[in-house]
Structure 1
């Protein structure tokens, strides 16, 4: 009984040892991966050692080296007399390689323990991920609200060269109060994007979304809004405040306001009413026929225009059509830069209609609204969710006069847009419908990659 147990234990230890050794060998071979910029520096270091040794030999006229080599030759002669050279030579080589491997392993382990925060990922994997992310395409995402932060949360695993261009037309809630009391641009949407692009996203989101429940003047304010307001005041304006915050939070990519002008939205409704203020437009509950901003034609942030011109991929949405997506496009320079770009441009249509903004809208209606606001077509394709929500979700949203956005293929074809159909929805246990950040980013990445692989930037990639 005991002998059988020992045999099983030995087999288990051997299997564990082999798997550990295989893992270590695999990790070491990763250091030879192309594009890691490690091999060249190791070769340069080796060349430096050889050159330094040669210089030392020249400096001391080879005298100590000559006697050292002579002494070493005598020792090697004695060894080869005892153990044949064809045995002693390979043994010495193996011993040297083992010592080198052991020393380098311990060195890398020591460095890894310092650099990695959680201790659960090897340094080589961190370096490979870093190289992959910073060699990704330059992606510009335009929008606002929770839809934009949802997309960024999934997109940041594919590229670190992300620029989020965010509307600054919000005038409700904590952002609206800060806008009135301090004269700052609304930080709410920017706050959400910064949290979504941060590495420690979960903790940072909880911190930035924390709302004070007591305190004179603090009640209702979120910590993130106060943080950005303070940074803007310290640095001089919102652009520099966001840039400084990005460094503090170590985010992947950058977040830029569409304009630094104090913009207020206005809308004309089908019943003739003229509504001013982003929060009041949705509350009015009418059908929007025209939208604009005060002041008209606000100047764009130069960094935002530069990002659009250099972009390899431009994404609009998801988010509230009239109060999150279109406000960015009311900045003429931004619309002009998007129209002039040769990059693939795609619009992510909302899954459900929004009361007070898009009630009764089809996918084609969303496209027409954007075209009308900008005076021209800005994107080549539209991403539409495929599967219908559950009965629970349909009932819940029907009570709010909200329904799934209908896909009218023929109308979209007449508008000259291509359709990307994919399952990108997340539905929770209460029937609340949102875009799934991982699935959405995966579909967008496949569509972009598929277009480049087939030498066609606008190829449609369906996802089942």
Structure 2
């Protein structure tokens, strides 16, 4: 049964990939779509004009080469024909007819040419090619953004940011040791693919279907039960390509991912935490389950080497975003890689931390916004960001009651303490609340819009 499900999942992925390349010719439905081709920045009109100039220059060269004799005779012949026509049909009739016929031929030629191009390049039947080109140019003009984190928080952020820039790089922690990722890590020896899987699905063009496919968990079968398809897919790609970095690159190409997903390190990192009660806990999942107050956190090995491409992405970044996500098990593990923290510290670009909306039992119970900032500063040994984004509006009473039962509450905004830490506060409403479950999450679209607006202002004022 499990093998049948696995084959069905693979077939679905193949069909989704084929959908991107299956096209049918379709007559343009909106005349105004033609006017969009006049929009600046498409890099289409200039090449057409250059082509026309090339034709004229080639014709001129041929005329010079043959000493104008054939062209002169051709022009004389055409002139005689036109003169004969004008003697039969008055010029006020023949002129408009010739103009109309010429415009018709131009329109026909351009329509058929663009139709042929659209048939090959248009990604879906619901979008005009010009709309795709305009969106492509807009995204390519976006800033180079590096987002650092893990878990569902980072994938939520990427889902919104991919609508504003094509130059996205997600740097993801590889310290996960629970669930399907933990099993694959222990049994096969691969780096945990779970957080990377979430980010790849969030950045894919066919996001909804791929998210469902990658998050699908097998419910039966020896060895398959509990595993997600995305984790198995990345594990198989790692075995085929040789390492996780190459597996991510190959998977991103196959799935038409917008941006890049990079592990912070290719080293087998294991987290440890020292609790206030004196206990030392090893393993990401064990730290949360210990349900203690975290005093200090580190990793084994203590100074894991960073992935060079991750350091390069930070060095070239225009904008750096840290979080959201579990403070000690998603955000800080990336910053425990010394080269990552050092690269961020050296950059003089806008850098912001997206604080969580609710505290997390076992990690940040009773934490304020300033406590989150202090924890990151302590782990890195220096301040890395100059602003913090905080949710303004609190959840509804039903959500508060639901979270209180788990020992969680909204992260308190202590303005004075944040001011002493010399951080700016970006106070905004970017929260979504599920009316049925009571869970609260960052809204991808609103979060991305606020972050890009702050980036524009910060860049204009400070950088």
TM-score normalized by the length of structure 1: 0.91
> 1:39 and 2:45 equivalent?
yes
Q: Which residue of 1 aligns with 2:448?
A: 441
Structure 1 window deviating more from structure 2 (231-240 vs 142-151): it is 231-240
Identify which of 29, 33, 37 aligns with 1:27.
33
CA distance in 1, matches of 2:457, 2:28: 38
Q: Which runs of 5+ in 1 are unaligned?
A: 1-19, 458-464
CA distance in 2, matches of 1:61, 1:215: 83
CA distance in 1, matches of 2:359, 2:444: 19
Offset at 1:57? Answer: 4.0
CA distance in 1, matches of 2:207, 2:193: 18
Offset at 1:256? Answer: 0.4
Q: Which residue of 2 aligns with 1:406?
A: 412
CA distance in 2, matches of 1:269, 1:223: 35
User: Equivalences for 1:148-227 in 2 at 5 Å?
Assistant: 148-227=154-233
Q: Which residue of 2 aligns with 1:144?
A: 150
Q: Which residue of 2 aligns with 1:450?
A: 457
Q: Which residue of 2 aligns with 1:254?
A: 260
Structure 1 window deviating more from structure 2 (101-110 vs 375-384): it is 101-110
**Cα root mean square deviation, aligned:** 1.7
Offset at 1:384? Answer: 0.4
CA distance in 1, matches of 2:339, 2:263: 13
Structure 1 window deviating more from structure 2 (81-90 vs 416-425): it is 81-90
CA distance in 1, matches of 2:380, 2:400: 33
User: Equivalences for 1:36-435 in 2 at 5 Å?
Assistant: 36-58=42-64, 62-429=68-435, 430-435=437-442
2:441 aligned counterpart, secondary structure:
strand
CA distance in 2, matches of 1:119, 1:228: 30
CA distance in 1, matches of 2:273, 2:193: 22
Structure 1 window deviating more from structure 2 (118-127 vs 344-353): it is 118-127
CA distance in 1, matches of 2:225, 2:66: 77
Offset at 1:369? Answer: 0.5
Structure 1 window deviating more from structure 2 (68-77 vs 339-348): it is 68-77
Q: Which runs of 5+ in 2 are unaligned?
A: 1-26
8 Å CA contact retained: 1:266, 1:281: yes
2:248 aligned counterpart, secondary structure:
helix
Q: Which residue of 2 aligns with 1:5?
A: none
Offset at 1:63? Answer: 4.9
CA distance in 2, matches of 1:230, 1:352: 36
8 Å CA contact retained: 1:113, 1:119: no
CA distance in 1, matches of 2:307, 2:362: 30
Q: Which residue of 1 aligns with 2:5?
A: none
Offset at 1:451? Answer: 2.6
TM-score normalized by the length of structure 2: 0.91
CA distance in 1, matches of 2:115, 2:368: 57
1:31 aligned counterpart, secondary structure:
helix
Structure 1 window deviating more from structure 2 (82-91 vs 154-163): it is 82-91
CA distance in 2, matches of 1:348, 1:383: 5
2:376 aligned counterpart, secondary structure:
helix
Offset at 1:61? Answer: 5.5
Q: Which residue of 1 aligns with 2:17?
A: none
Matched residues, number:
436
2:450 aligned counterpart, secondary structure:
helix
1:426 aligned counterpart, secondary structure:
strand
CA distance in 1, matches of 2:331, 2:247: 23
